[in-house]
């Protein structure tokens, strides 16, 4: 069964460093998403992406965040200058984009900012 994959599974970085989290969505899906889950808290929507542009973003998704689909398979989330409070599990998801749609999530990347 097709699945969303994410790399790395765990990323440790120093505060102020840039990180890039990578995702490979399901191949025939058209919509891509990033969510995050701070330890012990809700899963929160960050951004949705379609046709090479952002469709919607939350207030969490500020200028420090960016997304890109650099080629036909990868979807990346970049955090330019990480803060301690960026430590969280980051989930990528994708969907076909039909009316009867569901999102399929990857296993997540645990980001730890020291």
Binding residues for another protein, rule: CB under 8 A, are 6, 31, 33, 35, 41-45, 48, 50, 55-56, 58, 91, 93, 95, 97, 99-108
Closest CA to 90 of 6, 29, 25: 6
Q: Do you find a cis peptide bond into 8, omega within 30 degrees of 0?
A: yes
| Residue 8 or 97 with smaller CB distance to another protein | 97
Q: How far is the CB of 4 from another protein (least distance, A)?
A: 8
Pick 14 or 98: Cβ nearer another protein:
98
Shortest distance (Å) from residue 78 CB to another protein: 20
**Interacting residues of 71 by C-beta distance below 8 A, sequence separation 6+:** none
Find all residues with CB under 8 Å of 28, minimum gap 6, and list them.
Answer: 96
* Smallest distance, another protein to C-beta of residue 106, A: 6
């Amino acid at each position: 069964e097709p699945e969303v994959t994410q790399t790395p599974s765990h990323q440790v970085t120093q505060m102020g460093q840039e990180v890039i989290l990578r995702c490979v969505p399901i191949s025939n899906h058209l919509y891509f998403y990033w969510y995050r889950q701070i330890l012990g808290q809700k899963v929160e929507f960050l951004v949705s992406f379609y046709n090479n542009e952002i469709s919607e973003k939350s207030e969490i998704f500020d200028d420090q965040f960016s997304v890109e689909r650099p080629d036909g398979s990868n979807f990346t989330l970049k955090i330019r200058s990480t803060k301690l409070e960026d430590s969280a599990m980051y989930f990528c998801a994708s969907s076909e984009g039909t009316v009867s749609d569901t999102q399929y999530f990857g296993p997540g990347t645990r980001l730890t900012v020291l």
